[in-house]
Structure 1
């Protein structure tokens, strides 16, 4: 059993789910002494322990397993750095930076991408979320404030297996060839062995080749059969891929599905563990192959040739050979003139011919954004256009410089340019033809800024600070305030419009100033190296 003379503040469950790891801490010295495990699969929850082995005394706040590599990480607040722990109780900190400013990390956890996070503090309540580099223990990013807490804990569920099965091509002729890809993503923190992968392909399909099967595994059924059975498959951490090439039989047109089964795995995983096709909308979907109808070799019957452009015709089905009307033998054909084109797609047991008519564009596609315009700094600009395009339109907007569009794929995106900006639209019509136009928007450097004529710094949360306000958060080069005798009582440099942090709270050298009228001057930076000044008076009320 566990030694009751120790505290057990820190614990986690192993990737297999069969044991719990605990750190035993001396109640008097508050130093870690034991690495303990509890067998979760036994009815009486047998516990074992071994001494912590470390060059220095540790006080580990929390531990977590890396879902990709199975390594156990911890944060040692005694020495203020990350540590690794082994199953024999050895604690090492080699290669980890010292985080001298971090007093505690009560929560240590991974996401399913293998990123290491912590929730801790520089002293006092824990309020900061940290992203850590698990290679060297450095802080990559941090965000605060969060909810305050002491002795916080956090957990996530990154330990998972995903089993996907895809096929390419998904549309074939009878007797065509397809390739199935089985992708197994293992972020369960541990490799698995003695696993079977079984898949029965549709009747009439025959496996012709396998790739990616570990040499240590046994192929009980494969090439020459429609049944795939791999025994004692080793599922390593990370991505495992197996590809299977199969020849489709002389079968009638239709949809042919199959789904693989995988296992056995611990009870935390599905049973049976079925493959999922990620191209389908649901979960645990079978993988579908469509054997094409005769008229499905080309997906279109007519296409429009855009002015000044070439058109690529492409066979929609996979075949062994292709023959186009001009004698070419690839699966695509580039055409530059209107006309009637055909392609013949062939396999050992099928030869399908399909035709397509290429039409000439009736008139050139035009889009017009209008004449260049000027707007005042801080005004919103929403571009308008005229066009002769028909059908479903696609919009692709861009803006020069630092101007940001709220929706580059919308018909009328909005923005508030801070500088002269060129807006460019690439418009695509329902036939795939494109037209481009641009417009220059000149921004007149004139800020709409203002200030209150009075303020009352009485800490009631209303009008407590005097600062520059306006439509645009432009840089404030300086804000200076003088008393009636011309003495400087406040100055802010390098602030922003609408920022109370660059404002006066009615104090000078920490002491409240008396009621009265004060004079201010300010200067704001404008695009192109220009600036704008603002001056006036303000009444301080008590």
Structure 2
């Protein structure tokens, strides 16, 4: 005897496509292809025997469903439910910059970013755009996840300082042995001053130092404001030696009264007198002194020649000097001796 055998197919159970849910926002799962259903999972289930169930997992989980056909045949399927967690956007602290400088903004913690204001940014949708603001700016960034579940906002301050300004003569002429006051005009935001080199300056951290240079020198001025923005300028002091810094009398009276009894060169900014000669009207040298310092009466001519006083007359002198700036000069003239 032959008995027929009927083979029933397995039910085409389908748990649905993988989905993403936002944390704490329930979502519907829909199974199909069977008559009876049985759900199982480690996640929360609103119903274990329904074809449609609400799920609200706290973390990513896979849900399984067993489907049974009208003939009692069973099959299983599963669906992955990914949970998008809330987040906090983290940013850097911001900084102080000088106008024209750049600062890299930095945000992290999620997938998508939007910075405002966008002016001065190389890419407002970048997690780390480069900012070049012209004025102090508070940048806002809104971060979102790629599943459009959550958003968070953070702020980055960027303080912008202008550069201080200096108005300073580029060059000044100074007679060796004299002083000059350096008087730059500075913007009101200057909080620190530095002159260099310090040679011959009365101070290096004041606005208007006095310089007494012995040689040509360039002084550099560096100023800064509260933002640390630095501006530099310089002035060159051209040190010259001429007749303005030496005095040679045109009369003297060696009569022993203690007043103008000696004829000698005087001045300032003079390193030393190389030669000092006096000649009578016939060109005869009647006095000579070599290598001595200026303003030294003991090295001058007392109106005698070979130990004897000379008569009143007009005499010619030649003075060779070496200035403190190394310049050598020769001065010629006449002096009247009065008894």
TM-score normalised to the size of structure 1?
A: 0.32
Structure label with greater radius of gyration: 2
* TM-score, scaled relative to structure 2: 0.48
| Structure with more relative contact order (C-alpha pairs < 8 Å, separation 6 or more) | 2
